[in-house]
Each structure stands twice: as structure tokens, then as C-alpha cells.
Amino acid sequence: MAKYKIALMPGDGIGNDVMDAAKIVLDKIALDAEYVPADIGWEFWRAEGEPLPQRTIDTLKTCDCALFAAITSKPKEEAEAELVPELQGKGLTYRSPIVRMRQIFDLYVNLRPCKAFKGNPLNFQDGIDMVTFRENTQGLYAGVEFHPLPDDLRAKLEELSPRMGAFEGVASEDIALSTRIFTRAGCQRIVRAAFEYANKFGYPTVTLVEKPNVIRETSGLMVREARKISAEYPDIELWETNVDAMAMWMVKNPQNYGVMVSSNMFGDIVSDLAAQLVGGLGFAASGNIGDDLAIFEPTHGSAPKYAGQYKVNPTAMLLAVKLMLDWLGETDTAQRLEQAIAEVIEEGETRTYDMDGDATTLEMAQAVADKL
């Protein structure tokens, strides 16, 4: 039996292009792994009314981890209109497979490293090496939302918070409420993941990106828990910043930062900012990590206009493979893969169009494999 069982989920559009690129590199690495293809994406929504079929969930339950490329998603009415005729009018609703996988497998860490590779013409500045730990299951994206504001909830809020006075006289149907729920355990596990990573890979600081001076209770809880956990890692300094100021610092002095940790929405925003500083979507990989399963992906989507042209940059997908290797404990191989990617980009002979090159997706992946 192979040491690892890894699901491969190419999905839609350029997801297939970049997964083919990943396979070139995986072949070269020759990990002791069994790779199992798994269905996900638009085609399964159209034909079966489910973009994440139960058989894929069952497969994932038997795997150590998965590589996922990209999927297409569309607004509700458009999605329904594209179902095969037999499935139309049955009240099926499209649900994001990524969000569902995060929920089903409690993938609470969203890990997003952003490194400026030398010679990448898309770098904002050289020397950037930022890694965002974004909480992936709670906070503003947990979906506990109301509109109109229910009467009983409103009455309770008015009883408990004098601040509700600001909304006196506003009709409940004119009030929308989105909650931001943090738990102590939720704060602890994301902060701990960030410190563990900093410790393992030698980053001297962990920067907590929140807004405790204004969002006192949720951000406040995260800050207090972070300070406690920080005490367990005397060699790593905890820096505390407000998210708005952080956006300015990230543009002004991005080289000053290493590991950053944040809640779901703020982490989403700062990690996109970090990605653009090192070249954008072609370079941004992420890991969705839980205690029992981890899913690694490029953060870009299915870019339908480039689908099947083997034109897009495979780097984000290859960096997702690198993150997977790290997570599996294959850190030497991970390091060699990143080095090979860095060399190909720096030499500049085999670059995709986004870096002003003319290499195809597969040629660039092959160049990386050759370096290995």
C-alpha cells in the first residue's frame, strides 16, 4: 500500500490545465502515493444537480489530503437554467463546493503564503515573504445573518445593548444584521497554527491583524488568546496591528512582515492584498487545513476564457503542491520544488504570458520538473 492517498480534483476550465501541469511535477517527484481522481464542479451540477457529489465526499474521507484546482460557479438563476431538463424546476440550489468541503471537514485553517520570486516582473517589491493564517470557519462568513431583523431578536438586543438606541424608529424590515461570532477555541486553534508554522519555518514574528479598539468583543477575545499562546513561544514575537493600518504597512514595508494571523474576513482581504504584491492570481496558493484532512489549491478560479488553451501560469498550482508536501512532512521535497520554481522564474526563459513570456502551462511545469 502506498504511504499516502491523495485525491485529485481538477474541476472546471483552467483547473484541468493546471492540474495537468501539477501531474508533470508529481510524476517527477515520485512520491509514494496513490492518486485518486474525484469529481467536482459545474459538469456534475448540470448533470446531477450536485457540484460536490456524495461519492467525492466519501473518497475524501479515505484520503490524507487533496489537490483541488478550480471550479466555475454562477448566480442562482443562471445555475438553475443550466441544469439538464430532467432536473429543472425541482428546487435544487447551487452550493459552493469549496465552502461545503470547509464545513464538512472542519478545515479551520486557511493558509496563504505569498513570496516574491526573484526576477518576477510582476513583483511589487523584492524580498516579500508573507504567510497569512486566515480563520476559515467562523466570524463574518459563518452565515448567521438576518433580514429583516426578527422581532424577538430585536427586543432582546434592545434589552441587552444600549447601543441599539441608535436604530430607534427604523423599521425591522429596513435592518439587516450579519453576526461575527468567534469562539475561544476557534481563536486558539488558528493562532496556534500560525505560531507552529512560524516556529517550524523560522519566522521571528507573528502579526495579529484585527481591530480590537473598535470591535471590542470578538477582536478582543482573539488578542487575549493570542497573547496567552504567544507566551508559549518565547522566540517568536507577537505583533498586534489594526487591519486598516496593516493594509498601509503591507504596501509601505511588506518585507517587514512574515506570518500573519487573522479572522475570516480580515484574513480574506489581507491575503488578497499580499497575493497581488507578489504577482497576483498566477502565484497565489492556499491550504484549507483541518485536523483530519487538508485540501490544497491555487486561489484563482476557472478563468473560462483561457480554458483548455494551456496558456495560464501553473505556478499557483505548483505552489499548492509544495504546501501539500510541507503538510505531509515531505519538507525536503517541498523545499526543492520551491527552489525549482524560483529558478525557472528567475532564469526567465520559460515563463507564461502573464510574466510576458510565451511558454505554455505545460512547458513551464516541464521546466520545473527538469530542474528537479
Residues interacting with Mg ion, by CB under 5 A?
A: 268
- Partner touching 268 among ligand NAI, Mg ion, none, CB below 5 to 8 Å by kind: Mg ion
User: Are 59 and 7 a contacting pair, CB within 8 Å?
Assistant: yes
Residue 136 engages ligand NAI in binding (rule: CB under 6 A): no
Q: Which of 209, 270, 269, 217 is nearest to 238 (CA)?
A: 209
Shortest Å, Cβ 286 to ligand NAI: 9
Residue 301 engages ligand NAI in binding (rule: CB under 6 A): yes
Alpha helices for the chain (secondary structure H): 14-29, 42-48, 54-61, 76-81, 97-104, 151-160, 184-201, 216-230, 243-252, 264-277, 315-328, 331-347, 361-371
Shortest Å, Cβ 307 to ligand NAI: 9
Residue 70 engages ligand NAI in binding (rule: CB under 6 A): yes
Cis peptide bond prior to 314, omega within 30° of 0 = no
Shortest Å, Cβ 164 to ligand NAI: 37
- Partner touching 73 among Mg ion, ligand NAI, none, CB below 5 to 8 Å by kind: ligand NAI
Q: Which of 169, 125, 50, 140 is nearest to 279 (CA)?
A: 125
Residue 119 engages ligand NAI in binding (rule: CB under 6 A): no
Cell reading at 196? 507552529
- Partner touching 288 among ligand NAI, Mg ion, none, CB below 5 to 8 Å by kind: none
Task: Pick the closer one to ligand NAI by CB: 72 or 333.
Answer: 72
Contacting range for ligand NAI; rule: CB under 6 A; set: 44-52, 64-72, 107-115, 124-132: 64-72
Q: Which residues contact 268 (CB under 8 A, 6 or more apart)?
A: 134, 141
- Partner touching 340 among Mg ion, ligand NAI, none, CB below 5 to 8 Å by kind: none
Alpha carbon of residue 37 to chain centroid: 21
Residue 111 engages ligand NAI in binding (rule: CB under 6 A): no
Residue 355 engages ligand NAI in binding (rule: CB under 6 A): no
Tracing cell 430607534 back to the chain, one arrives at 168
Task: Pick the closer one to ligand NAI by CB: 31 or 281.
Answer: 281
Determine the Cα–Cα distance for residues 67 and 288; give it in Å rounded to an integer.
Answer: 10
Residue 38 engages ligand NAI in binding (rule: CB under 6 A): no
Q: Give the total of residues touching ligand NAI (CB under 6 A).
A: 16
Q: Which residues contact 38 (CB under 8 A, 6 or more apart)?
A: 7, 8, 9, 55, 56, 59, 60, 66
Residue 288 engages ligand NAI in binding (rule: CB under 6 A): no
Interface residues with ligand NAI (CB under 6 A) are 70-73, 98, 281-282, 300-303, 305, 312-313, 316, 354
